């Protein structure tokens, strides 16, 4: 006997005439994510989806689906005949089998087959009454601890009591392509995740500083990408060897501007890579005031070097919020592995916190910045992530 899962969508429901575009993309993403699981079938079902799979696959399939943006929850459903008594008995049995008695409950019923000799209100009232009397659980119609859902339809009838959370948001692939500046830190993987959640297709660019920082930095960022892949991205990681250029920028005067100059060169280079990959904007994990390079003055001075708009999904977050999200997403454990970052490596002892453009331009005068950025972008190594694992490509 097959197991049925009911998948619910959230924000997509609010879409008007172009809802089908969002649904098609979501469907494509679900199929792609489940492609390794043979015998799994996806069906559209009254504005939602159901998935059928073998009972032994259920846990793994729920694990995959709980990372699909656009879905809000997943419930294993017990499929039965639409007789009133059968639905009622099944609901009661499911509640009695719960490992913990809920503090309150509510029955929500939907009858899509109008020929059935009862209404959804009958189901809600009568099944609710049976559960209340048998299990002695109070009813709460507004904020129940447990929701018992009944669907009585021509094609399918079922009861479900468990909801596994899915992340909500919009299906990846619906909002255009972005290039994320991905460090090995805590913030930028979260920023990348947030853009995936809003439906963007994402590639990443990361800077490391050989020979001063070597393979461990590359491996850390690749590991972060692998943690993020089940969420839908990134598709490509561009690794930029930045050490030699940083050595040149380090000589700038006044030296306290060095970090701003490193960051500006990152913007130029990532901007070129982004344009080459037809991305519409850059994304960073910056948050206002987090460190010296993220004061308002410095953010503005850094952004001016970018050929594309710069998006900062974490701008208003404090670090605790970001850490909490990183833990939920699963990137935190990798992010805290100690590893030198290219910007901290050659950071000035007293970095500028109020960079002024005239000073910045003066410090950069005489350097062929565009040629440097072109050279960095051209020599970037691209790692492509597919369902079958990463594949490295030469420049
Ligand atoms: P994170 O912000 O990811 O925790 P971090 O704290 O090391 O890393 P910050 O100094 O806060 O980095 O840098 C701000 C942002 O600049 C990062 O979120 C990231 O988008 C970008 N950035 C910093 N270092 C790098 C790098 N080596 N490669 C790519 N992007 C970087
Ligand atoms: Mg940071």
Rounded to the nearest angstrom, the distance between the alpha carbon of 183 and the centre of ligand 2 is 9
Q: Tell whether the model's pLDDT for residue 395 goes beyond 60.
A: no
269 CB less than 6 Å from ligand 1?
no
Ligand 1 atom index nearest CA of 314: 18
Give CA–CA dist 233/386, Å, rounded. 10
According to the 3-state scheme, what is the secondary structure of 88-130? HHHHHHHHHCCCCCCCCEEEEEEECCCCCCCCHHHHHHHHHHH
Q: Is the pLDDT assigned to residue 6 strictly greater than 70?
A: yes
Q: Which two tokens stand for residue 210?
A: 């050989």
pLDDT digits (tens, 9 = 90+) for 163-203: 999 999 999 999 999 999 999 999 999 999 999 999 999 99
Residues in the chain: 395
Query: What contacts 24+ positions apart, CB below 8 Å, involve 212-216?
Result: 212/243, 212/340, 212/345, 213/243, 213/339, 213/340, 213/341, 213/342, 213/345, 216/339
- State whether the beta carbon of 306 lies less than 6 angstroms from ligand 1: no
> Residue of the nearest CA to atom 12 in ligand 1?
185
Helix (H) or strand (E) holding 375: helix 369-378
Q: Which two tokens stand for residue 65?
A: 């689906």
pLDDT at 394 over 80: no
The rounded mean pLDDT for the chain is 93
DSSP string computed for 29-72? HHHHHTTTSTT-EEEEETTEEEEEE-GGGHHHHHHHHTT-TTEE
- What fold is seen in the domain 177-393? Rossmann fold (3.40.50)
pLDDT at res. 158: 96
Which positions ≥6 away from 141 have C-beta within 8 Å? 106
Domain boundaries, the chain: 3-165, 177-393
Q: What is the pLDDT of residue 198?
A: 98
Question: Is the CB of 286 inside a 6 Å radius of any atom of ligand 1?
Answer: yes
**pTM (predicted TM-score):** 0.93
Would 3-165 and 177-393 be classified into the same CATH topology? no
The pLDDT tens digits of the residues spanning 325-346 come to: 999 999 999 999 998 776 677 7
Ligand nearest to the CA of 311: 1
| 3-class SS of residue 310 | strand
CATH 3.90.550.10 assigned to domain 3-165? The reply is: no
- 154 or 125: which leads in pLDDT: 125
pLDDT digits (tens, 9 = 90+) for 344-374: 777 888 888 888 999 999 989 989 999 999 9
Give Cβ neighbours of residue 353 (< 8 Å, ≥ 6 apart). Answer: 292, 295, 297, 298
pLDDT number for residue 261: 95
């Amino acid at each position: 006997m097959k197991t049925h899962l009911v998948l619910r969508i959230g924000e997509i429901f609010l879409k008007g005439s172009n809802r089908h575009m969002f649904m098609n993309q979501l469907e494509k993403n679900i199929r792609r994510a489940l492609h390794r699981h043979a015998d799994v079938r996806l069906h559209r079902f009254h504005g939602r989806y159901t998935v059928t799979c073998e009972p032994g696959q259920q846990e793994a399939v729920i694990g995959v689906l709980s990372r699909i943006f656009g879905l809000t929850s997943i419930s294993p459903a017990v499929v039965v005949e639409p007789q009133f008594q059968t639905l009622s008995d099944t609901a009661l049995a499911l509640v009695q089998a719960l490992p913990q008695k809920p503090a309150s409950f509510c029955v929500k019923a939907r009858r899509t087959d109008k020929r059935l000799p009862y209404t959804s209100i009958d189901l809600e009232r009568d099944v609710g009454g049976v559960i209340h009397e048998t299990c002695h659980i109070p009813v709460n119609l507004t904020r129940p601890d447990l929701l018992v859902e009944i669907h009585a339809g021509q094609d399918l009838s079922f009861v479900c009591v468990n909801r596994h959370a899915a992340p909500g948001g919009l299906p990846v692939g619906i909002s255009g392509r972005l290039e994320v500046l991905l460090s090995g830190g805590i913030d930028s993987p979260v920023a990348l995740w947030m853009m995936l959640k809003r439906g963007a297709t994402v590639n990443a660019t990361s800077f490391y500083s050989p020979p001063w920082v070597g393979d461990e930095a590359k491996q850390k960022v690749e590991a972060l990408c692998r943690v993020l892949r089940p969420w839908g991205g990134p598709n490509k990681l561009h690794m930029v060897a930045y050490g030699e250029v940083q050595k040149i920028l380090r000589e700038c005067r006044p030296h306290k501007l060095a970090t701003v100059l490193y960051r500006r060169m990152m913007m130029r280079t990532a901007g070129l890579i982004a344009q080459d990959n037809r991305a519409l904007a850059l994304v960073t994990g910056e948050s206002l005031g987090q460190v010296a390079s993220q004061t308002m003055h410095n953010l503005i001075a850094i952004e001016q070097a970018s050929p594309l708009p710069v998006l900062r999904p974490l701008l208003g977050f404090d670090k605790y919020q970001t850490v909490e999200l990183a833990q939920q997403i699963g990137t935190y454990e990798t992010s805290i592995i100690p590893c030198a970052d290219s910007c901290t490596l050659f950071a000035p002892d007293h970095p500028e916190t109020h960079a002024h453009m005239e000073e910045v331009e003066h410090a950069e005068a005489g350097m062929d910045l565009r040629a440097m950025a072109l050279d960095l972008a051209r020599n970037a190594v691209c790692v492509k992530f597919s369902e079958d694992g990463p594949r490295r490509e030469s420049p």
